[in-house]
Amino acid sequence: MKTKSNRTASWLMLGAVLSSVLIYFFPLWKITLYAPQYPQGIRMYIWINKITGDDAYTLQNINILNHYVGMKDIDPHAVPELYYFPYALAGIIFLGVIAWLIKKRWTYLSWAILYALSGAIAIYDFYLWEYDYGHHLDPKAPIKVPGMAYQPPLIGTKHLLNFTAISLPEWAAVFMLVSVVLGFAAYWCCRSSSDKQLAHHHPNILTSSSQSRVLSHH
């Protein structure tokens, strides 16, 4: 028995899945570094499966700068998440498709919760990497500033010696957020239609709005 709200929920869920697919094609996060010698800034982009920069040499150039304070080289090959996150996302998209096919409110809700938790874990993981890069410094570093760590901010701006680091979500993060929101919205819609079905049998608990809708339906 298809209702208008159910169809809306289905569309919202489809939107959530498609939005998730876009994550592969855009960076998740951007860290911009400004210094007197880099007035135009150096930009590093974190994707679901790679780390890139303004050009092919950005990482090398950032690593050269970082080595003075003893930071490890940023080497995408040394970050295993970049290998398995794309598969994890594929799994989530797959589950999303299943949820979309089942078209039940609990499938939408479980998917959205799973997705939100995964996203939170990914962000926490990103934080841990930032912490690791910023705190585990080579004891033989040429420049040692006591008490100084070089962890870039998760979101926002931070001054690190001569650098100003700005860390902000990018398009793929927006798509991830949109996916989660649409998942919850699908659940919300579905709940509304369940209410409606419920209301059909128990007119007493109708809200005034759904009552008018039901009435016009007849």
Partner 1 sequence: MKPKIFPQQKQLIPLFCGIITIAGLLLSSCNSHSSGGQGAISAQEAAQQVYVAPGQYDEFYAFMSGGYNGQVSVYGLPSGRLFKIIPVFSQNPENGYGYSEETKPLLMTSYGFIPWDDAHHPELSQTDGIPDGRWLFINANNTPRVARIDLKTFETVETIEIPNSAGNHSSPFVTENTEYVVAGTRFSVPIPQKDVPIASYKQNFGGVLSFIKVAPSGDMDLAFQVMMPGFDYDLAHAGKGKSKDWVFFTCYNSEEAHTLLEVNASQRDKDFVAAINWKKAEEYVQQGKYHEFPGTYYDNRFDTSTQTAHSYVHQGVKVLIPSECPGLVYFIPAPKSPHGVDVDPSGNYIVANGKLSADLSVFSFDKIQQAIQQKQFDGEVNGIPVLKFDAVLAGIVKSGGLGPLHTEFDDKGNAYTTFFISSEVVKWKLGTWQVEDRQPTFYSPGHLMIPGGDSRKPWGKYLVALNKITKDRYLPTGPELCQSAQLFDISGDKMKLLLDFPTVGEPHYAQAIPASILMPRSDKIYQLASNHNPYVTRTEKDAKVVRKGKRVDVYMTEIRSHFVPDNIEGIYLGDTVYFHVTNLEQDWDAAHGFAVEGNRENAELLLMPGQTKTLKWVPVRVGVFPFYCTDFCSALHQEMQGYVRVSSPNDNVALTWSTGKE
Give me the residue label for tokens 């080579």: 138
139 binds partner 1 (CB under 8 A): no
> In this chain, which of 36, 80, 142, 147 binds partner 1, going by CB under 8 A?
142
- Contact between 111 and 182 under an 8 Å Cβ cutoff? The reply is no
d(CA 67, CA 142): 8
143 binds partner 1 (CB under 8 A): yes
Burial label for 86, CB within 10 Å (0-12, 13-18, 19+), is: middle
1 binds partner 1 (CB under 8 A): no
State which H helix or E strand residue 208 sits in: helix 208-217
Residue placing its CB nearer to partner 1 in the complex, 64 or 117: 64
d(CA 90, CA 20): 9
d(CA 31, CA 28): 10
**Least distance to partner 1 from the beta carbon of 157, Å?**
23
Distances (CA, A) of 124 to 89, 179, 183, 206: 16, 19, 22, 43
**Least distance to partner 1 from the beta carbon of 141, Å?**
11
Classified as helix, coil or strand, 136 is: coil
**Least distance to partner 1 from the beta carbon of 171, Å?**
27
The token duo for 53 is 């920069």
**Least distance to partner 1 from the beta carbon of 55, Å?**
8
- Residues in contact with partner 1, counted by CB under 8 A, come to a total of 8
DSSP 206: -
Site string for partner 1, 52-91 (x = CB under 8 A): ----xx--xx--x---x-----------------------
Residue placing its CB nearer to partner 1 in the complex, 60 or 207: 60
Residue placing its CB nearer to partner 1 in the complex, 1 or 56: 56
**Least distance to partner 1 from the beta carbon of 161, Å?**
11
| Residues lying near partner 1 in the complex (CB under 8 A) | 56-57, 60-61, 64, 68, 142-143
